[in-house]
Chains A and B, each alone.
Chain A
Amino acid sequence: MAAVGEQISFATQFGRNIFRNGFEWNEFLHQCYVVGVRSISLVAISGFIIGFVLTLQTQPTMKQFGAESFVPGMVAISIVREIGPMIIALICTGKIASSIGAELGSMKVTEQIDAMEVSSANPIQYLVVTRILACTLMVPLLTVMADALAFVGGWLGVNTQGHVSATLFFRKAFAALEFSDMIPAVVKTFFFGFAIGFVGCYKGYHASRGTESVGLAANSAVVTASLWIILLDAVAVQITNLLYY
């Protein structure tokens, strides 16, 4: 229960310090680079494979029902709505939340955060605001990129069973997607990104004394952020259903 209070107060501090006496642009851009650019290859490969595998697995079943021509559409919908955002968020949790947790945790343990605080500099603004916002922005972008590569993977997957032209595949895929699929799917990735940044920062910032707590901070950042993402996803599904159906 104490932890909930602490998280709320941490969130309030985050909110109050976003634009307080300026904004740390340089650090923010650097974090976007660290969070976004350095995750590109991992996310790209994952996205591609997800699309490829998903197609390979659905194709035989669809074939039995003579519904092969629906494969592109089905793959597109499942990836954009659910599998893309979810898996990419979980992969980012493993990569980003853990590294933020470890980085801030070690800064806490080696008194660097205290040093910032006693010099009257603003560690929340410099360290926390920049990282949370970078995650909130980059995770959606990474997800969109992964979705696109999953389509490519899907198209290649279809082609293992016979020739389907790229134009045909993508036309079918996009025809199946509706705007109402895209919006909630993209919106929730912002929340996933926020959760990853917030939990990573919170765990690192509140690491206790002693070097072993750095590992603990990284570890519990991953566990907690994953849980958050699954919960947020469940909430997102409920809200989407209420809004559209």
Chain B
Amino acid sequence: MEQAQINQVEQEPETDKEQIPEDGVVIRIEHLKKSFGENQVLKDINLELHKGENIVVLGRSGQGKSVTIQCIAGLLEPDEGKLEVLGKEISTLNEDELKELRTKIGFLFQSGALYDSMTVRENLEFPLTRVLQIKDKEELTKRVEDALDSVGLKDAIDKYPSDLSGGMRKRVGLARTLILRPQIMLYDEPTTGLDPITAREISELIVTLQEKYETSAIIITHDMPCARITADRIVVMNDGEYIATGTYDELAKSPDELINNFFK
């Protein structure tokens, strides 16, 4: 049953559309709050992510950027507020519904989060066999090779994560995430810790894959070249709230010092 669905998606990507609410908003966040004990991290987050849009979230470390997208992926439970993903309010979903929804969300972790004990191939096969329940060896190999090809890492297929450089790990992480054909991508600092050249390659890769797979994305970063390459729209986060939104050029001209600081 599940497999039939996936095949269908592959043949006609148009069928995705039925998932998307009529107004084209794939993520809607209103007055989202989240605290850890005394530490109030998210105070009042409001955001709409539209189909096909890339939003970059800028903000200094420890502002709660990661917490926000962890709420979106259902890894953390918000305390208050509305959080709709693909038209579904996350907090009302049961375990199976959340699982179903998560197959449509891709999450690239800051570290890449590759499974250390598995080769690159096994890393990529893991979601295919566990989530899509694909058992056919040839089908698996084909999909894994395709995915690695699209991030330019076909040669690394039998390596272990510990043998890969930071940039390669990010690429493999990206391939592993995209192999499930998500509609929404969440990137947690995709370029942090990489040299400027690799960082630019990753940013460009994000844009390429975005176009190829027609995803919408939230990209967390404080790397300005990355923001310039990937963003359709930028929001600036400070002290648990989004304080400004606009295009790269608009924000670059902002008189507000807090915002301006990023663009220096």
Contact = CB atoms under 8 A, between A and B. Distances in A.
Interface in B43-72: 70
B114 A112 contact: yes
B110 A120 contact: no
Contact of B111 (A110, A116, A119, A126): A110
A118 B105 contact: yes
Contacts of A117: 75, 102
Interface residues of A, number: 15
Contacts of A112: 113-116
A189 to B, nearest CB: 28
Interface string A119-158: 1111000100000000000000000000000000000000
B180 interface: yes
B212 interface: no
B188 to A, nearest CB: 9
B130 A121 contact: yes
Contacts of A118: 73-75, 102, 105, 107
A115 interface: yes
Contacts of A116: 115, 126
A110 B114 CA distance: 9
Nearest to B180: A119
Contacts, number: 58
A126 B125 CA distance: 14
Contacts of A110: 111, 113, 116
A119 B130 CA distance: 9
Contact of A115 (B99, B103, B105, B109): B109
A239 B111 CA distance: 50
A110 B115 CA distance: 9
B67 to A, nearest CB: 12
Given A112-B115, A112-B116, A114-B75, A119 B131 contact: yes
**Residue of A112, A119, A120 most packed against chain B (CB within 10 A):** A119
Contacts of A122: 130
B102 A119 contact: yes
A114 B180 CA distance: 16
A116 B102 CA distance: 11
A126 B114 contact: no
B127 interface: yes
Given A112-B114, A112-B115, A112-B116, A121 B109 contact: no
Interface string B114-144: 1110000000001100110000000000000
Interface in A155-170: none
Interface of B: 70, 73-75, 99-100, 102-103, 105, 107, 109-111, 113-116, 126-127, 130-131, 173, 176-177, 180
Interface of A: 106-107, 110-112, 114-122, 126
12 contacts: A110-B116, A111-B110, A114-B107, A115-B107, A117-B75, A118-B107, A119-B107, A119-B130, A119-B177, A120-B127, A120-B131, A126-B130
Given A112-B113, A119-B102, 18 more contacts: A106-B116, A107-B115, A112-B115, A114-B75, A115-B115, A116-B115, A118-B73, A118-B74, A118-B75, A118-B105, A119-B126, A119-B131, A120-B102, A120-B127, A120-B130, A121-B126, A121-B130, A126-B130
